[in-house]
Amino acid sequence: MGEPLLAVRDLAVDYVTARGPVRAVDSVSFEVGAGEIVGLAGESGCGKSTLAQAILRILPPPAVISGGQVWLGSTNLLSLSEEELRQVRWRRLAMVFQSAMDALNPVITIGEQIVDTLRAHTAVDEAQGRARAALLLERVGIGPSHLDSYAHQLSGGMRQRVGIALALALEPALVILDEPTTALDVIVEREILEQIRALQRRLGFSVLFITHDLGRMLQFSDRIAVFYAARLVEIGPVGPVGQQPAHPYTRALLRAFPSLHGEPSGRESIGGSPPSLQQPPTGCRFHPRCPLASPRCRSERPELRVVAPDHAVACFATA
Ligand SMILES: Nc1ncnc2c1ncn2[C@@H]1O[C@H](COP(=O)(O)OP(=O)(O)OP(=O)(O)O)[C@@H](O)[C@H]1O
Ligand SMILES: [Mg+2]
């Protein structure tokens, strides 16, 4: 893979609550290569958004980053001042949220928002900014007449497209997509993901892609990282992880989704529910739901271990 673009090392994030800290990201390490798409999978509440927000350092309180490093190239984002971070956000690293409404300002037009972002980071005047904003909108399939629209005048799908145009405005090296199409219908979702894919091929940025939809993730990603209860349990190239998942949780997660070819008959839900992060299970956190659990799994914590080229799994039961 060469030098990674993003390298997350031993990252830990806690939500500080009255009942004590809740660790929502627990010693997580992984990398994203230049031009690579890495999918992040896992059930609701396992810490995916917390991880994404920690990378961008936009975590709202009561969350605190308790340890680790986040390297973007040769810069550790966790050691930057707020001012230094402002130089990095949008320009080198941008995020598209589940609801673009959260990122768009309701009281100014779409055009003004894009122009503001451009002018905050580059030396363009108003006219140049507006011309560039029109090009950016065109890139995501929106006509220039919408420069003067307000976010609430657009459909959900168009708002997400504006969010993508905005994220790509300064040609960042890495774009984090946190469930960018979850609120949309299937056809609009597919169109938007295909558009992101086409732009990614053309512009060469890297993507960290978070979704509940494992089928989409398998279609879209080069590598897959699987999260369970704040920890990374498996990471590897999309082929092996999709076809020969090594972790029992990945296998269960894949079985719980309709196959890519669309026959939902084999669909099985994962028994039980994800553990509370307030008091996670001892040893391997998946052991209460795991068909392969042994006494060792209940007492000892498995670390990620390489099982095949570029493919690592945290499980004692996997050879
Ligand atoms: N404000 C908070 N106070 C305490 N704990 C919190 C708070 N926000 C989140 N958490 C904890 O962090 C965990 C991870 O939340 P996060 O939103 O990162 O999960 P997620 O994987 O993105 O879920 P989803 O798939 O539903 O978006 C939650 O299970 C919860 O225990
Ligand atoms: Mg989330």
- Written as one string, the DSSP assignment of 156-190 is HHHHHHHHHHHHHTT--SEEEEESTTTTS-HHHHH
With 0-12 CB in 10 A as exposed, 13-18 as middle and 19+ as buried, what is 144? Answer: middle
15 in any annotated domain: yes
Tell me which residues have their CB within 5 A of the ion that is ligand 2: 48-49
Terminal-residue alpha carbon distance, the chain: 25
Q: For residue 204, is it within any domain? A: yes
Separation of CA 112 and ligand 2 centre (Å)? 29
**181 touches ligand 1 (CB under 6 Å):** no
Maximum Cα–Cα distance across the chain: 68
Q: How far is the CA of 45 from the centre of ligand 1 (A)?
A: 5
Angle at 133 between CA 128 and CA 139, to 5 degrees: 130
Closest to 130 (Cα-Cα) out of 107, 146, 152: 146
- The answer to whether 165 and 142 are in contact (CB under 8 A) is yes
Look at the chain and report how many structural domains it folds into: 1
Per-residue pLDDT at 287: 97
Q: Look at ligand 1, atom 8, and give the residue with the nearest C-alpha.
A: 15
- Residue 79, domain extent: 6-92+172-313
Of all protein residues, the one whose alpha carbon is nearest to atom 14 of ligand 1 is 47
**What is the number of the ligand closest to the CA of 51?**
1
> Which pLDDT belongs to residue 262?
52
DSSP state of 224: E
Q: Are strands 93-96 and 75-76 parallel, antiparallel or unpaired?
A: unpaired
Q: Would you put residue 35 in left (φ > 0), alpha (ψ -120 to 50) or beta?
A: left
Give whole-number Cα distances, 67 to 8, 111, 301, in Å: 11, 39, 19
Our mutation pick for probing the ligand 1 site, out of 28, 48, 56, counting the most ligand atoms within 8 A of Cβ, is 48
Q: Of all protein residues, whose CA lies closest to atom 31 belonging to ligand 1?
A: 277
Looking at the domain assignment, is residue 110 inside a domain? no
23 domain-assigned: yes
Nearest ligand atom owner, CA of 47? 1
Q: In this structure, is residue 228 part of a structural domain? A: yes
Q: What is the pLDDT of residue 265?
A: 47
Pocket test for ligand 1, best of 16, 19, 28, 50 (most atoms within 8 A of CB): 50
Rounded Cα distance, 141 and 131, in Å: 15
State the distance from the centre of ligand 1 to the C-alpha of 177, rounded, in angstroms.
17
CB of residue 180 inside a 6 A radius of ligand 1: no
* 269 within some domain: yes
Amino acid 267: pLDDT? 66
Q: What is the pLDDT along the chain (319 residues), one digit of tens a residue?
A: 567 999 999 999 999 999 999 999 999 999 999 999 999 999 999 999 999 999 999 999 999 999 999 999 999 999 999 999 998 999 999 999 877 667 789 999 999 999 999 999 999 999 999 999 999 999 999 999 999 999 999 999 999 999 999 999 999 999 999 998 887 888 888 898 999 999 999 999 999 999 877 888 999 999 999 999 999 999 999 999 999 999 999 999 998 876 554 555 456 778 888 999 999 999 999 999 999 999 999 999 999 999 999 999 999 998 6
Reported in sequence order, the residue ranges of 52-135 that DSSP labels E, i.e. its strands, are 63-72, 75-76, 93-96
pLDDT value of position 266: 57
Q: What is the CATH number of the domain that holds 283?
A: 3.40.50.300
In-domain check, residue 262 = yes
Tell me the CA–centroid distance for residue 210 and ligand 2, in Å.
Answer: 8
pLDDT at 259: 56
Report pLDDT for 215.
84
Q: Does residue 319 lie in a domain region?
A: no
